[in-house]
Structure 1
Amino acid sequence: MAKKKADTIPGARSLLAILTLAIIAALGWWWFKSSQPDFIRYDAFGIEIPANFSIHGIDVSKYQQRINWEAVKEMEVEDVRIGFVFIKATEGLGKMDGYFRRNWEKAAETGLPRGAYHFFIAPKSGAEQAENFIRRVDLQPGDLPPVLDVEQTYGVSAEKLQKEVKAFLERVETHYGVKPIIYTNVDFYERYLKADFNDYPLWVAHYLKKDRPRITRNWAFWQYSETGNVNGIRGKVDFNVFNGDSTDFENLLLD
């Protein structure tokens, strides 16, 4: 019996050594990951960019005026380039953004995945606002889903707001055959929309945290800065990230 016990000691020691190395490796990986920055300053873009996301984009409207889309597409700083763009299309019952047509066509010519958004006027009919958007926006395979930008109540009640938002979303979903994305900020969502709209993809604006937005529900896009710089665009522009990898992003695009 004594001999058998002695024979097992080297094996036990080897197992202990392997376990020790595994623990050290795991602790080393944890330390490496925890020591990585949550955001990195990119002087060319003029902002700090969240480090834990790989797909970056911008959103534009008439306020960016005439954009050189080739310059936007070609700009790349280290591992960051513009991978998608949301473009303002319409507002309220009858308005169309003055630069929408040009931005929509030129973005497509460069091969940038594009999405169109409608700025919502809460006191107006949601269904009629949807018709304004539908008349102006012809979505194609490879485009992002349509977006409803709702961020002001204009004095209407929460019940009225929710009713008209639902009317817009349902009409747009019926027409395009895809669930629209809701764009809003964290406080507005939690105060006025809440769980009634959790089935819709969320594009959330939140500038107070540098690693991720302060919201508990899942989200697809995060607008984290409104002061970025991009080649080909005069003035400041909003920056966004997509919450997923390239496969997730491809799955979101229209068929």
Structure 2
Amino acid sequence: MAAELRRLRESSAVTLEEAAERLGWSKTKLSRIENVLRRVAVPEVQGLLDLYGVAGGRRDALIAFARTARQRDWWDTEPLRTDYATYIGLEAEAEALSCYSMGVIHGLLQTEEYARHIIRAALMRFKPPAEVDRRVAVRAARQAVLTERDQPLRFWSIIDEAVLDREIGGKKVMQAQYERLLELAELPNVMLQVMPASVGAHPGVIGSFSILQFPEQYFPNVVYVESMTGALYIEDEGQVHTHTLAFEQMQATALSPDDSTALLARRAGR
């Protein structure tokens, strides 16, 4: 909602200061709404849509979404970093997600043991075991978008071969992770490809990224790039388009889905 309200303001050629003044708000209030630092009430959304000249079905959909967005979801009850909670909310609303992973397997595909080693080693090394367990449970709960929604998330993952070579947690953990990938690859809404090392340079060598696609009436696509201490959300249409073209090129370069599952099966010892 915050991303779409900002995009509507910018496409209407209205500055932050002008919008705030015409609504009788402070600039800080509108800035906090657009930067996901303050929840926005339905009447406030209606006022913004009036200002930006949004009408018809798009207006109705955004107002309906604003009502739904104020409901507390399961991740709202967890003590999560703000940017991580924001991402989980976006992931839950997305209709499709395309990602390239060059460090670790994407969270939606991880087994609990694989996730535990990643979280403990990379994110929460000095946290108590109970907090690590809680974060593992959150990661497992996120995976419901693949199987438990009325319309499951359409998920396309390209995994760098180096990720499969990286032994996280030992051979048994990796064996279970290969089996998990093979299991998920059988779902009609999940597509897995492996990017072989022999390809050499390709658009993804710069780093991992995810492209989240949403129903048109909500907001435009978003590119998500995660770091150790935060996250970057790219909403500029040109930059999103560049990432989309890069992902399409990588789809053509990576092993086919059939060849990828065959590779995973060999690694699983089948």
Superposition TM-score, scaled by structure 2 size: 0.30
Greater helix share, 1 or 2?
2
Superposition TM-score, scaled by structure 1 size: 0.32
Structure with bigger gyration radius: 1
Greater strand share, 1 or 2?
1
